[in-house]
Amino acid sequence: MQKKYEIVIVDTTCFILLEKIGEFNLLKYLFSKIVTTTLIAKEFGYPLPDWIEIRRPQNTSFQNSLDLDPSEASAIALAMESKSSLLILDDNKGRKAAERL
């Protein structure tokens, strides 16, 4: 499988659902670099594997300007700062905001 994205940014719900079905490693299998934000990691509430990088978006003003859940806003802000990224969001409002941006 050819990996098209430099990084894949994952939101909380994806982590929760993969954990529930025992397929957390599916992310590692499908993508070469998985990243999430500090807010998402905290919201998930369990330790994440070492192969998931945790970052903070640099532009917190932009992040705070989004009328979204803080963790989704942090994921979108990080995606905006990252070249060639894929953003995995479950929330419809968050996906629509990301598409507009």
Domain boundaries, the chain: 7-100
Q: What is the rounded distance in angstroms from the CA atom of residue 81 to the CA atom of residue 75?
A: 10
Q: What's the pLDDT at 3?
A: 55
Cα separation values, 82 from 3, 21, 47, Å: 16, 30, 24
Q: Measured on CA atoms in the order 62, 92, 89, 96, is the torsion positive or negative?
A: negative
- Residue 94, pLDDT > 90, answer no
Phi and psi at residue 76, in whole multiples of 5°? Answer: -65, -45
> What are the tens digits of pLDDT across the range 2-56?
557 789 999 999 999 999 999 999 999 988 899 999 999 999 999 999 999 999 9
pTM of the model: 0.87
> What are the tens digits of pLDDT across the range 50-83?
999 999 999 888 888 888 989 999 999 999 998 8
Q: Are 6 and 85 in contact (CB under 8 A)?
A: yes
- Residue 87, pLDDT > 70, answer yes
Q: What's the pLDDT at 51?
A: 96
Q: What's the pLDDT at 91?
A: 82
